[in-house]
Amino acid sequence: MNKQAMDRRNFICHAAAAGLVSQFPSRAGASTPRSKFVRSSTAEEVTAGLDLTGKTAVVTGCNSGIGFETMRVLALRGAHVIGTARTLDKGREACGKVQGKATPVALELTDFRSVVACADTIRAMNVTIDMLILNAGITLGDWQQVNGLERQFVVNHLGHFLLTQRLLDRVASAAQGRVVVVGSGNHRDAPPGGIQFDDLSGRDWYRRGYAHSKLANGLFSLELSQRLSKTRATSNCLSPGPVDTNIRRDLPASSAPPNLKTPAQGAATVCYVAAHPSLKQVSGDYFSDCNPAPQSAYQTDRAMAAKLWQVSTKLTAPYLI
């Protein structure tokens, strides 16, 4: 085992041990500051005046929608953005459109070998990661599986879980690293009981599969915040709100909610949580429209979050080290 793999394994082991200590406090709560920004605020507006020169951000799903706008604005503010897309060609095309430094990397979240290769490529750049933004996602109108698991759960949660594990030491080594998980208000529509640990195939609940995966996003962020509580790093989840992007490409147009946000508005909360200095000490919280937001009882269930972490670790175990 090479030194990088040993360092990564040691960090994961220490983080896991920390996560088992229940008295570690979350830094979220009543002290989380409120911002002046609103639903119509844009990513450029919420980052106005910020100088991100010298910082590195990883943005998954950089080639369109919220991911592209997030990459564009962070690069505009001076950050080096490593943008992932399902193919290197799509990533190159997207990165070529932004003003600033953007580096494309291929990432296919349904293929854990691709996730490992993506993480290894990023690690080879020998940079600390100030912002790890888990944005890529899908929403489906039918039942699809990957290796016996419901596809949205794999793409939206498990692939990102694995990527985070393989990059987490680089986040923790930053001056104030942040993991930003793009969830959804749809987490409230998860199947009864929350995460369907007894049957992750989706056979009986696939119509709520997107909400199920978004609940997994929120629980993952919550548990990660506990495991990072003795580091400088933080983890927060957010809902960008309903946004007019191609994530809805597999759904009928009639299913679109009214008053969709633009990608510039949808990326506002992402950029705010990733970069705004007022959130330096905030971890384990959930945001919408650039402010703390209420959550369902399921998404604040620490026992469910801990179990999801254990199950996710088991499902990705061959690729973690």
Counting Cα atoms < 13 Å in the Cβ hemisphere of 152 gives 27
Please identify which of the residues 206, 272, 286, 298 carries the catalytic annotation. Answer: 206
**Phi and psi at residue 96, in whole multiples of 5°?**
-70, -10
Do residues 182 and 135 touch, judged by C-beta distance below 8 A? yes
Query: In Å, how far are 27, 134, 181 from 137, measured between CA atoms?
Result: 27, 9, 11
CA distance 139 to 183: 12
Backbone angles phi, psi at 252, to 5 degrees: -65, 145
- Using alpha carbons only, what angle is made at residue 97 by residues 93 and 101, rounded to the nearest 5 degrees? 100
Look up 319 and say whether it is catalytic.
Answer: no
| Structural element, H or E, at residue 238 | strand 234-239
Distance of CA 192 to the CA centre of its chain: 24
Give the whole-angstrom CA distance, residue 149 versus residue 121: 27
177 close to 232: Cβ distance less than 8 angstroms: yes
Distances (CA, A) of 135 to 105, 124, 157, 321: 15, 22, 10, 24
Phi-psi region of 201 (alpha: psi -120 to 50; beta: other; left: phi over 0): alpha
Q: Which amino acid is residue 188, in one-letter code?
A: R
Distances (CA, A) of 292 to 76, 133, 311: 26, 18, 28
C-alpha dihedral sign at 292, 298, 240, 227: positive
The residues annotated as belonging to the active site are: 206
